[in-house]
Amino acid sequence: MSAIEVKGLKKSFGAKEVLREVNLTVERGEIFGFLGRNGAGKSTFIQIMTGITQATGGTVALLGEPADRLDAIKQRIGVMPDTSNLYHDMTARAFLNYMAGLSGVRITKQEVRRLLEQVGLSGTERQKIGSFSFGMKKKISIAQALTGNPELLFLDEPTSGLDPESAIEIQRLLLALKAEGKTIFLTSHNLN
């Protein structure tokens, strides 16, 4: 059973056709990079996969479940959206607890510490997200996608805007997650 199976996917906003017959299969344990110019429809595609917006046509199956059963598998899926969903007044720890809670997961202090460590934000538990740099916000957004230890990750431009060193750290993290058996679907403008 594939992690992602998309057939004939279409999306239009009014008369504007954004996705035209997208067909793709991502096997479990793969890292799949989705490339395309600005406005190509990458974020729209991720929004359809994660139930934020509806397709105009076609079929989607995630982890073997059809899209209308997304509720049954949403705890097994993690998402880092393109637009910031960060709560600036929250500390890093409160934010991770809150986001985990939204997907029905409870995480311990140790898990929060481990998540922050994993993305290179060790020791920032009590820091407010509003005081984070751009790169740190990107990293905590990845950490929030990892809460609840999902099997399938959708990451919308996880490395864009990061300095080269941070981008390499994130690439290493993604390889480590793959080694744990996770499936990662990511968009990027970085051909490397």
* Binds ligand ATP by CB under 6 A, chosen from 1, 38, 126, 181: 38
| Interface with ligand ATP, residue 36, by CB under 6 A | yes
| Interface with ligand ATP, residue 104, by CB under 6 A | no
| Interface with ligand ATP, residue 39, by CB under 6 A | yes
| Interface with Mg ion, residue 65, by CB under 5 A | no
Tokens of 192: 């490397």
Q: What minimum distance in Å lies between the beta carbon of 107 and ligand ATP?
A: 30
| Interface with ligand ATP, residue 94, by CB under 6 A | no
Residue (40 or 70) nearer to ligand ATP, CB:
40
- The option from Mg ion, ligand ATP, none interacting with 13 (CB < 5 to 8 A, set by class) reads ligand ATP
Element (H, E) at 94: helix 92-102
Pairing between strand 57-62 and 4-13?
Answer: antiparallel
| Interface with Mg ion, residue 82, by CB under 5 A | yes
* Binds ligand ATP by CB under 6 A, chosen from 42, 74, 93, 139: 42
* Rounded Cα distance, 121 and 143, in Å: 9
Question: 3-state DSSP call for residue 127?
Answer: coil
Q: Label residue 122 exposed, middle or buried (CB < 10 Å: 0-12, 13-18, 19+).
A: exposed
Which one, of 122, 129, 187, lies nearest residue 153 by Cα? 187
CB 158 within 8 A of CB 142: yes
Element (H, E) at 114: helix 109-118
Q: What minimum distance in Å lies between the beta carbon of 60 and ligand ATP?
A: 16
| Interface with ligand ATP, residue 44, by CB under 6 A | yes
CB 100 within 8 A of CB 177: no
Tokens of 157: 């431009």
Residue (35 or 175) nearer to ligand ATP, CB:
35
Task: Tell me the window of 10-18, 67-75, 122-130, 146-154 that interacts with ligand ATP (CB under 6 A).
Answer: 10-18
**Footprint of Mg ion (CB under 5 A):** 42-43, 82
**Residues forming the site for ligand ATP (CB under 6 A):** 13, 16, 18, 36, 38-44, 82
